[in-house]
Amino acid sequence: MKKNVFSGALVLAAASVAAKIIGAIYRIPLTNVLGAEGMGMYQLVFPVYALFITLSVSGFPVALSRIVAEERIRGKSGEGYFKLTMMLLCCFSVVSAAIIAAFSPKISALQGNSEVSYGYLIIAPALIFVGMISAFRGYFQGCLNMIPTAVSNLIEQVIKLALGLTLAIVLKHRGIMQSLYGALFGVTVSEFGAFIYLFITYLVKRKTYGGGEFLRDASTKRLTSVAFPIALVSIMLPLSQFIDSFLIINLLRGTGMSLGEATAQYGLLSGPVGSLINMPIVIMLSLSIAIVPAVAAGKEERDLEGILKKSALSVKISYLIGLPCALFIIIFSYPIFRLLYPALPLGESALASTMLTISSISIIAYSVMQIYTSLMQALGKTYIPVISLTVGIVIKIILTASLTNVIGIFAPAVGNVALGVTAAVINRIYFSALVGKKFQLVKNISMILLSSVIMMLAAFMIKELKYNEIWALVVGAAVSVVLYFTLVLTLNTLSDEETKSLPFSNALLKIKRTLRFWDRAEEK
């Protein structure tokens, strides 16, 4: 099962990264089409949309995946719980779509920009499709099949890129607002396309997974008792972004900044900067999605050793990916922005690159936080992540409100970092207390840190050669990947047993044994 977990996580992570790349490709020209102010309006709509998605569906996909995994260990298919989840999410999504449409004028007025009101009407139908998509994904994940989730993610992004961007460009001559509406319509159509794919896949795969169960075979009490605390966790981050959409622009305007400038700075932080920070984090999100049903099944089988091994490797991988990504972004934040967003004025690029440098620490914090959150959800300790995120959000709001007058738009960036670090530390303390002294990672994390720092120094030296910024970025990225990969294997950061649980394990072990030639000498 451990092999299946990380293979499934790799499939989902690869597709998620591809989807993020497509999303970045989408946002780069979209930013160039709409400009910073237009992206600011786009980002006013999206946090509200994301919050309503969370209110409608959050908790249920993860809860369903966990319950289906447990049911399959008991010899059942879990399809009754899938049908129950689908029914509930359809109802919740329809209500949410109606609310966001009815109150769109008031929401946009409270945000300080009433022009985006019609944008909510365009994107509201997408909520209905998202609800049904979430039920399908939770069911397939419970069956340890991550491919439908991965493919549906890609479908969403491809349609959004092809249709949304095309409409934004075609409608640009009518003004920013019409161009914005075209982009938002592409989002709605993309969710419909993903739903159609998942529905067809379910019809094809249903008999393979056992099928045949009815609503009466599922307990609403069991489903909701598992889903509720998970939903609270899922609500926290969108709620934080929702608060940002009201708080940041108004705080910036309080410093004497114009509406256009405040919206533009908020658009840079929540748009391009947020997208770049989220790209490596999405890999950890994929792993956290895959680990829940696997650990839940291990709990059902009372396999403590298996749970500890999966947990340790998951946390280790979060550092293994998060640390080097954060340090590389610190070195190359400005060239990254100039390469990806050439249409932005130099002043906005410089401002955004500083935001990116500050926010890069969030990559490590949020990656670790997500893994610990998923592990505790799988083990039934679902309220601990609620506590940690609540404390983190309170600290973030305090820092944003108190520092904006001093450091401007950098205050919410600092607040985001504080949120992630706080939640990660609290989660780590609780999880260590839960599993005991057997869960120790200090040595492994120190090796990851050493490899990341050496990689960072090499990247810095390449940057300081004063060649063209873009070439320095490309060469620095290539050298960093090769050097870091070599150091991780040479320093034996992952044991042979851990390496065997990863995809492409045979190739990785061959490379590792070649690099660690002294091990072969000792064996002889």
Asked if the model's pLDDT at residue 173 lies above 50, the reply is yes
Confidence of residue 128 (pLDDT cuts 50, 70, 90): very high
Confidence of residue 499 (pLDDT cuts 50, 70, 90): confident
**Which of the residue ranges 64-68, 421-425, 431-435, 490-494 would you say has the lowest mean pLDDT?**
431-435
Strand stretches in 360-500, DSSP E = none
What is the model's pLDDT at position 394?
A: 93
Residue 28: the pLDDT is 76
pLDDT for 500 equals 72
pLDDT of residue 466: 63
- Residue 320: pLDDT over 90: no
Q: Are 41 and 180 in contact (CB under 8 A)?
A: yes
Nearest to 11 by CA among 145, 139, 142: 145
pLDDT at residue 4 tops 60: no
Range scoring the smallest mean pLDDT among 89-98, 170-179, 286-295, 507-516: 286-295
Mean pLDDT for the stretch of residues 164-168 = 90
The residues spanned by each domain of the chain are: 2-440
Is the torsion defined by CA of 234, 238, 239, 240 positive or negative?
positive
pLDDT value of residue 482: 93
3-state secondary structure 304-350: HHHHHHHHHHHHHHHHHHHHHHHHHHHHHHHHHHHHHCCCCCHHHHH
- Closest of 252, 96, 251, 72 to residue 145, by C-alpha: 72
Q: What is the mean pLDDT of the chain?
A: 83
Q: Which residue has the tokens 């980002």?
A: 43
Q: 416 versus 276: which is more confidently predicted?
A: 416
Output the pLDDT for position 3. Answer: 47
User: Which pLDDT does position 34 carry in this prediction?
Assistant: 84
pTM over 0.75: no
Asked if residues 209 and 362 have their Cβ atoms less than 8 Å apart, the reply is no
pLDDT at 479: 93
